[in-house]
Amino acid sequence: MSESDLSGVKSGRALWLSTIAFTICFAVWMMFGVTGIPIREQLGLNSVEFGLLTATPVLTGALFRLPLGIWTDRLGGRRLMLALLIGCAVPVWISSYATQLWQFLLLGLALGLVGASFSVGTPYVARFFPKERRGFAMGFFGAGTVGAALNMFVAPALIGAYGWQMVPKVYAVVLLATAAIFWAFSAPDPARAATSPSMLSQLAVLRDPRVWKYCQYYSIVFGGFTALSIWMPQYFKSEYGLPIAQAALLATCFALPAGAFRAFGGWLSDRFGAHNVTWWVLWIAWICLFLLSYPRTELTVHTINGPASFGIALPTWFFTLLLFVLGIAFACGMASTFKYIGDDFPDNMGAVSGIVGMAGGLGGFLLPIMFGALLDRLGVNSSCFMLLYGIVWVSLILNYLTEVRRAPVMGENVVGGEAAQPKASQA
């Protein structure tokens, strides 16, 4: 076998096994989105407490994305991924015996480390691929977010058959099995520099304003995806009166495309450029969220023949269709954000992906709590979409001010997948 063929085999193994491991990790990370429904009924939690329960694992996964991204640059992704898979299996198993809210929150903080696997796998996978294929590779790996949909299939079935306590036990065993398979068949890390930069030197990238812009983008596309993946089963149950199994099934219409289309978003980013894809993603999300924000309304019109009442509400099928489109948009936006990172910071991807991933994870942590607070305050289920609609407005304005005014969008001057830069003005 030639050296190029061997390299192709290693890159393929790294990509596939890392994606499988990340899929399992993401399913575990989203576990409380489904198991939290019977736990809420068991403990009598309000909306804010439910939001805190489901979001707590996201907090740890968000905060540890930065240090784990840096450690991946220094130590290698293969060993760190193995450590996460094995280490998180313990708190996942123990959570099946929790009976108080504080116990769930404490264990949620521990098992939430699986969410940081993204910052480990991203630089590990990216280093196996050249720049022109890196967008697709990272998008393919990021498709592991389909684990949110996997959780919505598996968890309701286990809850219906054995109770919610069986879900964490099964997930713990799957984590250990995945760790064994990953270590046995994954390719070693590509050669890194003999001397790794210090953590302080890696954090110096925070001075670059592009990093903060990408953080804001990712906080809506990934943070919004994570928050809605957690919140939608409860939303369908509350708004449309559906049982847990059916509510979770319809929620997959958002979670599944948001994961499955991420590789497609990576291909689009390689083909048309990260800026172009991000711009159109934000507009599609803006339209979907505007429609999803409309609350169920009863309208009475006083006609010459007396009062006439009308009910205005999104039917279940149309609501689900909008979620499906929104999921595709978020998937492409997640891929385009990391295309930015791969192109702009090829030598510091671990640190930058960790920073941006942390911002996205923090969005996924804060948003469910804010959803619950708005719901308790306003009593309107669609208030969660109203909040996201406002955040997308901020992203659109930021994108326009920093990029659209300076570069054409899908125009004739787009060369090689990137918008041509304007010439410097003459003095």
Residue 351 lies in a domain: yes
**How high does pLDDT run on average in the chain?**
83
pLDDT band at residue 417 under the 50/70/90 scheme: very low
Residue 427 lies in a domain: no
Give the whole-angstrom CA distance, residue 349 versus residue 190.
14
Among 234, 247, 252, residue whose Cα is nearest residue 49: 234
Residue 193 lies in a domain: no
pTM of the model: 0.73
Q: What is the pLDDT of residue 418?
A: 47
Residue with tokens 């930069």: 197
Computed on alpha carbons and rounded to an integer, the radius of gyration of the chain in Å comes to 22
Q: What is the pLDDT of residue 90?
A: 95
Among 107, 114, 122, 57, residue whose Cα is nearest residue 355: 122
DSSP letters for 72-136: HHHH-HHHHHHHHHHHHHHHHHHGGG--SHHHHHHHHHHHGGGGGHHHHHHHHHHTTS-HHHHHH
Whether the predicted pLDDT of 330 surpasses 50: yes
Q: By percentage, how much of the chain surpasses pLDDT 70?
A: 89
pLDDT band at residue 87 under the 50/70/90 scheme: very high
Q: How far is CA 257 from the centre of its chain?
A: 12
Q: Do the beta carbons of residue 419 and residue 287 sit within 8 Å?
A: no
Whether the predicted pLDDT of 416 surpasses 70: no
pLDDT band at residue 95 under the 50/70/90 scheme: very high
Structure tokens, 161? 């058959």
Q: What is the pLDDT of residue 194?
A: 47
Q: What is the pLDDT of residue 350?
A: 67
Whether the predicted pLDDT of 49 surpasses 50: yes
Higher pLDDT, 406 or 79: 79
Q: Which amino acid is at 420?
A: A
Q: Mean pLDDT check: name the lowest of 34-48, 172-186, 201-215.
A: 201-215
Q: What is the pLDDT of residue 98?
A: 93
- Residues 58-74: tens digit of each pLDDT: 888 888 877 887 788 77
Give the whole-angstrom CA distance, residue 175 versus residue 195.
33
Whether the predicted pLDDT of 423 surpasses 50: no
Q: What is the pLDDT of residue 196?
A: 56
Higher pLDDT, 104 or 258: 104
Whether the predicted pLDDT of 100 surpasses 70: yes
Total structural domains within the chain:
1
pLDDT band at residue 93 under the 50/70/90 scheme: very high
Q: What is the pLDDT of residue 283?
A: 93
Higher pLDDT, 6 or 256: 256
Mean pLDDT of the 222-237 span: 88
Q: Range of 34's domain?
A: 3-187+208-301+309-408
- Residues 162-205: tens digit of each pLDDT: 999 999 999 999 999 999 999 998 888 775 544 455 666 666 77
pLDDT band at residue 260 under the 50/70/90 scheme: confident
Q: What is the pLDDT of residue 170?
A: 97
Whether the predicted pLDDT of 221 surpasses 80: yes
Mean pLDDT of the 36-40 span: 91
What number of other Cβ atoms are within 10 A of residue 192's Cβ?
15
Residue 240 lies in a domain: yes
Give the whole-angstrom CA distance, residue 391 versus residue 210.
18
Whether the predicted pLDDT of 2 surpasses 80: no
Residue 48 lies in a domain: yes
Residue 419 lies in a domain: no
Structure tokens, 280? 């159109």
Mean pLDDT of the 333-360 span: 78
Residue 226 lies in a domain: yes
Q: What is the pLDDT of residue 28?
A: 94
What number of other Cβ atoms are within 10 A of residue 288's Cβ?
24
Q: What is the pLDDT of residue 426?
A: 37
CATH number of the domain residue 31 falls in: 1.20.1250.20
Residue 414 lies in a domain: no
Q: What is the pLDDT of residue 82?
A: 92
- Residues 277-310: tens digit of each pLDDT: 888 999 999 999 999 998 888 888 888 888 888 8
Q: By percentage, how much of the chain surpasses pLDDT 90?
A: 30
Mean pLDDT of the 80-94 span: 94
Whether the predicted pLDDT of 402 surpasses 80: no
Instruction: Give CA angle at 57 (165, 199), nearest 5°.
Output: 145
